[in-house]
Amino acid sequence: MFINVIGGGLAGSEAAWQIAERGHQVRLYEMRPEKQTDAHHTGNLAELVCSNSLGSKVLTTAGGLLKAELELLGSLIIEVANQCQVPAGGALAVDRQKFSELVTARIANHPNITVIREECTELPEGITIIATGPLSSPGITKVLQDLTGENHLYFYDAAAPIITGDSIDYSKGFWAARYNRGTADYFNCPLTKEEYEIFYQELVNAEVVPLHEGIEDDLKVFEGCIPIEVLASRGPDTLRYGPLRPVGLEDAEGNRPYAVVQLRLENTKATLFNLVGFQTRLKWGEQQRVFRLIPALKNAEFVRFGVMHRNTFINSPAVLKPTYQFKKHPQLFLAGQISGVEGYVESVSSGLVAGINACRLLNTQLPLEFPEETMIGALARYITLKSEDFQPMNANFGILPPLAERVKKKQLRKEAYSTRALEALKSFITGTDCI
């Protein structure tokens, strides 16, 4: 019996390999080169389109930890990347052409994989992994709309920055809900008139990332997604009547700030916070410079910068399980950036988990949820269990559960996270025989 994989990118190639290595037959559907996308240039599998870097190799970084976990699980993509790497300091950068050619050869020559070069406009029978990426064709996009409902499929990514909780100066703000309605779930970062005016001037004069052709029209339609710097350009007080409005917020002494930036919890453990209303097109370095002018965020550590670009992804918390299965269609899996993970290696992670679980489903075994202490498991849980204002997420230490004991020094804390994660994964592998 075949397991189907739709999409030959990083996630689809990894999923197909994991299935084939476990002795099952795979049909891997890839529409290129018969039908190209706007970003790809070849018909090779796992073609890298934006960068040749797969991020840091250093174990005390989130990306480095994720790669180490994938190596333990026998990832094809990480194995080939290591074979094709080019000098890039602590990063895993690859020769793009050599990388995609070698992945294509490994997949094409595997006796359990059949590569089918055609576009899928409907789902094949049997267990299927959809890994078509943010550049999904209209045909498979219609399939996803039918599966999820149009309200759960997004074509535009407007995300605010996310920072770590332990980088916030809590002495420079206060917890409160507007008008004291409900519980005090927001941390409020006040600004004086002078602080606001400095922040405003730097914001409206900061450098932005140019928009691609056609997105200007999208911004007119998506008024609720207007970048904060565009709002600011409409007048000095626009933000004070918008996302920085102080109305209904008072500090412990009963004083109302001149302006206030609200931080919303990204997870129940308060390790990550979202800057409310701060979707932006500012360049990443500018975001860090300008947003750190907010007193409580002077030392803010960004795990995700704000972005505004075309992107196709689903509202994963509403439709996916941490196993990457559809809740209503357990024989179907979703992997890659379309599932809500952000980044090359994160896509590989989702494909690997989906491939393993597709095999287990075929073997009448329960699909696996990886430990939340691992980066693989934490990422899967984050994109499928977070329910409000979902936006895609990349690997970062903030999505991991807190350590049992607080470690003050950042480097030692990251070492502790990585050590705990790898120990948890090794125990998990032994206990589940998932390799």
Q: Which two tokens stand for residue 65?
A: 């930890």
Query: Residue 187 and residue 373: Cα distance in Å, rounded?
Result: 26
Quick one: pLDDT band at residue 246, thresholds 50, 70, 90?
A: very high
Q: pLDDT digits over 81-99, tens only? A: 999 988 777 889 888 889 9
Distance CA 287, CA 206 (A): 8
What's the mean pLDDT when you consider all of the chain? Answer: 89
Amino acid at 3: I
pLDDT of 371 > 90? The answer is: yes
> Would you state the structure tokens that stand for residue 187, as one six-digit string?
């941390």
Looking up tokens 């996916």 gives 320
- Torsional class of 313: left (φ above 0), alpha (ψ -120 to 50), beta (otherwise): beta
The DSSP secondary-structure symbol of 355 reads H
Contact 320, 327 (CB under 8 A): yes
Instruction: Give the amino acid at 174.
Output: F
What's the rounded Cα separation, in Å, for the pair 178 and 260? Answer: 11
Show the domains of the chain with their CATH numbers.
2-159+310-432 (3.50.50.60), 162-305 (2.40.30)
pLDDT at 223: 47
Asked if 233 and 282 count as a contact pair (C-beta separation under 8 A), the reply is no
CA distance 294 to 202: 11
* The model's pTM: 0.78
Closest CA relative to residue 309, chosen from 274, 288, 280: 280
Please indicate whether residue 425 or residue 389 has the higher confidence score (pLDDT). Answer: 425
* 167 in Cβ contact with 277 (< 8 Å): no
Q: How far is CA 57 from CA 13, 165, 291, 348, 380, in A?
A: 21, 25, 28, 15, 21
- The residue assigned the tokens 């290595």 is 21
Coil, strand or helix at 415:
helix
Span of 186-190, 303-307, 359-363, 427-431 with lowest mean pLDDT: 303-307
**Euclidean distance between CA atoms 396 and 377, whole angstroms:** 12
The one-letter amino acid code at 246 reads P
- Confidence class of residue 215 from pLDDT cuts 50, 70 and 90? very low
Q: Which of 170, 190, 176, 137 is nearest to 29 (CA)?
A: 137
Higher pLDDT, 158 or 236: 236
pLDDT value at 213 more than 80: no
Q: Could you give the CA distance from residue 360 to residue 121 in angstroms, rounded to a whole number?
A: 26
The DSSP line for 237-261 is TTGGGTTT--TT---TTSPPPSEEE
Least confident segment among 143-152, 288-297, 332-341 = 143-152
The tens digit of pLDDT for each residue in 171-203 reads 999 999 888 876 787 899 999 999 999 999 999
- Tell whether the torsion through CA atoms of 403, 405, 411 and 416 is positive or negative: negative
| Residue 212: other Cβ atoms inside 10 A | 11
Query: Tell me, what DSSP letter sits at residue 31?
Result: -
Which is higher by pLDDT, 389 or 105?
Answer: 105
Total residue count of the chain as it appears in this document: 435
Helix (H) or strand (E) holding 364: none
pLDDT tens-digit profile of 99-116?
999 999 999 999 999 999
* pLDDT at residue 161, as a whole number: 92
Residue 199's DSSP bridge partners are none
The pairing of strands 113-116 and 307-314 is unpaired
The secondary structure of 193-242 as a DSSP string is HHHHHHHHHHHHTS-BPPPPTTHHHHHHH-GGG--HHHHHTT-TTTGGGT
